[in-house]
Amino acid sequence: MTTYPPETSLWTNRKCLIICCVVATSNMQYGFDSAAIGALQAMPGFLKVFGYADPSSPLGYGIDTTVQQLITSLLTLGSFVSSLAAGPFSSYLGRKPALWTACALNAVACAIMLATTDTGVLYLGRLLMGFANGFLVTFSNVYNSEVAPAHLRGVMVALFAYWVNVGSIIGSVVDNYTSTRLGKSAYQIPIACLYIIPVFLSVTLLYIPESPRWLLHQGQDAKARAALENLRPRSVPVEYIELEWAEMLRGVEEEKRHAKSVGVLDMFRGSDLRRTLLCYGMIACQTGSGVWFYISYQTYFMGVVGIEKIFQYSIMNACFGFIGVNVGIVLIRKVFGRRSILMLGATICGLCQLIPAIAWSVKPASKTSGNVLLAFLAIFNVAYNGCVGAASYPVATELVSSRLRAWTVGTATSLGYILAWLCGFCSPYFINPTDLNWGAQYGYIWAASNFLCVCFVYLFMPEMKGRSLEELDEIFLARVSARKFKEYQCRITEESVQDVKGQGVELREDVHRVEQMP
């Protein structure tokens, strides 16, 4: 494993951590949108404009299933399209231009949704917002994966889940305080808040370096070296920077030797096929947890099953999710490997879906079964965000080769959005009182899905904790089985050490290869 000096803690790497935090705030936008827009469907001010009066409903208003489907699914459809475009975009422009493009699309989408009272135009706004979200999610995670030191990569990429939960909490709070308004401002205020993060991100990106690995793959070696030095703390001895730089150079040379092109078909050739399928499987496991159902319909779902104070409970669940992701960041850094935290999370998420479903089958629509649902929904939020949510993007981004990272992560994110769209499109049929009206019994489907995810991780997912991205490239090229990843001895580190020594740089003995820092 690549070694780092004892002083390279999170605090010592605070500059890189702050940069990753700033880039990851783009996911706060995603969390806010999911929580705020999803809850609008339980808000009288919104339903008066885009729904219809329904005295029989606990909310006093109803909304057509098709409108529900399109509000949710068009966002995921737009995200799917833009995530697919991430690979071609990255062939010509870097990570920062992609994030700026997303911010511009977000501004247009917000303007459309604020101004319209027509459902057709609202759909257009949701589609454009999806375009923006796809780029924000894909490129923020790719950037953070590429700039983080190997021993801190899990934490820095897990900031995705951290900021999604912060956004969800703020979105739920804003909705709670505007839900009592009966005019259009009830939903226009949450939508207007979607301007805040893109404006902040657009300005701060001016002061953030481009990804050194992207620059290196573009042949801009001098800029890549300057970006790497800008991202690393000055307190780190120069030999560590030299070693990391030598590894990056060797990694690029090795990739060019084995693959002459960068394109969509290259994801399915040679050792990259395995990496692509594992990345797709990881993102599918994220969706398979059932989180998209709760993201899209949690507040509405609690309302139609007769639970009171649904907006307050939405805030509570968002806070539980925030607690979970903070615990998860510590677990990723200090306790668990990638495989174990994913299996633990999927097991708990499956049980949190199964137990309320059984309770609802025994006592349908009772207060007791409603309380069981609330309790396990809170546990689900902790477990998902602390395990599956915190680990999924660190794993997905480090699974794939450096030259194809934007292509593979982009298409994998697109797959996630296809599955999310399928969830958003189908879920209303299961929970809407005018259709199947399954209530919490819908959890049987998601319980089975979670247990399948446990099997996938156990059988196929390798352990990658503490490895540099270049080491992972070497291990996959060597076609090492998942069970032997942890013990594999990489030659790229030793060769990089010899490169650095050849330049006359003195290296301490502990630079060679030691166990990962705690």
For 251-307, the DSSP string reads HHHHHHHH----SGGGGGSTHHHHHHHHHHHHHHHHHHTTHHHHHHHHHHHHHHTT-
Residue 360 makes CB contacts below 8 A (sequence gap 6+) with 369, 372, 373, 439, 440, 441, 443
Run of H or E including 367: helix 367-383
Rounded (5°) CA angle 446-449-453: 135
In a 3-state reduction of DSSP, which class is residue 196?
helix
| 273-310: b (≥16 Cβ within 10 Å) or e | eebbebbbbbbbbbbbbbbbbbbbbbbbbbbbbebeeb
Place of tokens 């799917």: 80
Taking a C-beta distance cutoff of 8 angstroms, is the pair 185, 45 a contact?
A: yes
Taking a C-beta distance cutoff of 8 angstroms, is the pair 97, 74 a contact?
A: no
Q: What is the pLDDT along the chain (518 residues), one digit of tens a residue?
A: 444 444 456 656 778 888 888 888 888 887 888 777 767 777 777 777 777 776 666 666 667 777 777 877 788 788 888 888 888 888 788 889 999 999 999 999 999 988 888 888 888 998 999 889 888 888 888 888 888 887 778 788 888 778 888 888 888 788 778 877 777 887 888 889 889 989 999 999 999 999 898 898 888 889 999 988 888 887 777 777 888 888 888 877 777 776 655 667 788 888 889 999 999 999 899 888 988 787 767 776 677 666 777 777 777 877 888 888 888 888 887 788 888 999 999 999 999 989 988 988 888 877 777 788 888 888 998 999 888 888 888 888 888 887 788 788 888 888 887 887 788 778 777 877 777 777 778 889 999 999 999 999 999 999 888 787 888 888 888 888 888 888 888 777 676 666 666 665 555 554 444 333 33
Q: Which two tokens stand for residue 509?
A: 């003995």
